[in-house]
Amino acid sequence: MVLSGCAAFGAFAQVAEKAGPNLVPGGDFEGDALSKHWKWNDNKGTFAVQAAPGRNGGQAAALKSTGTSDRGKFYVTGMTVPAGAALRVSLWAKCENLQGGTWVNYEGPASEGGSAKFDLAGGSSDWTYYEHRWIAKGKNAAPGTPLKLEIWFYVYGRGTLTLDEIECRAIEPDAEGAAKHAAAQALAFAKTVSAATAPRPRNSRRSRPP
Ligand SMILES: [Ca+2]
């Protein structure tokens, strides 16, 4: 069960939910994941990807562009999701003098039937968490139909974008988790109020002047 607390992420925010397994192959970039599962290319040969230090040790993928007008593409395939599934895509990103920005696009049959993309900021930043939710509608697909899904990163401008811990999970509301969360919040609030209104102990030990 995961609790999401960012209102920027739309209608699912503040709702307890159950999340399925991570569907992104090699999204942690550990071992040979980068070369085994990820592909990249560009139009002008000024875009390259290499292993870099990860967010919590281990490895990440550093996307480096030395061009000013090209568009580097970095992508992963091999995922299948059921039509109608609510998906939560999340990742950690770090920028170093990235003069443009990055557009994360869902492609393949799962992305048809609705706009499915989000942006990452450019500039310079330490590791930053991004999360995006969407419904894999497909195009005229009956609910539950297996649909192929790809995640593409389009990187614009000179600079470096480092990515780690890329995940895509099917999610569903978790009513039991929501109830427990609400109860825990109520208890915490009650304790706070109780502590704030409690009378001072009568025999508090204060040192008296001699
Ligand atoms: Ca990693």
Q: What is the DSSP string of 7-49?
A: GGGGGGTT-EEEE-----TTTT--TTHHHHHEEEE-SSS-EEE
The pLDDT value recorded for residue 8 is 37
For ligand 1, the distance from its centroid to the CA atom of residue 126, given in whole angstroms, is 15
The pLDDT value recorded for residue 6 is 37
Q: Kind of pairing, strands 16-19 and 2-3?
A: antiparallel
For ligand 1, the distance from its centroid to the CA atom of residue 68, given in whole angstroms, is 28
For ligand 1, the distance from its centroid to the CA atom of residue 105, given in whole angstroms, is 21
The pLDDT value recorded for residue 178 is 77
For ligand 1, the distance from its centroid to the CA atom of residue 163, given in whole angstroms, is 8
Quickly tell me which residue has 């990807």 as its tokens: 49
For ligand 1, the distance from its centroid to the CA atom of residue 209, given in whole angstroms, is 61
For ligand 1, the distance from its centroid to the CA atom of residue 122, given in whole angstroms, is 21
Task: From 47, 83, 86, 49, select the one nearest 67 (Cα to Cα).
Answer: 47
Domains of the chain with CATH codes: 18-190 (2.60.120.260)
Rg (CA), the chain: 23
Tens-binned pLDDT, residue by residue, of the chain (210 aa):
333 333 334 334 456 889 999 999 999 999 999 999 999 987 677 899 999 999 999 999 999 998 876 689 999 999 999 999 999 999 999 999 999 999 999 999 999 977 689 999 999 999 999 999 999 989 989 999 999 999 999 999 999 999 999 999 999 988 887 788 788 888 888 888 777 777 665 554 555 555
Task: From 116, 112, 95, select the one nearest 168 (Cα to Cα).
Answer: 116
d(Cα 201, Cα 133) in Å, to the nearest integer?
51
The pLDDT value recorded for residue 116 is 82
- pTM of the predicted model, to two decimals? 0.78
For ligand 1, the distance from its centroid to the CA atom of residue 74, given in whole angstroms, is 16
For ligand 1, the distance from its centroid to the CA atom of residue 37, given in whole angstroms, is 14
Where are the strands (E) in the chain, listed by range?
A: 2-3, 16-19, 38-41, 47-53, 59-65, 71-82, 85-98, 102-107, 117-120, 123-136, 146-156, 159-173
d(Cα 37, Cα 22) in Å, to the nearest integer?
14
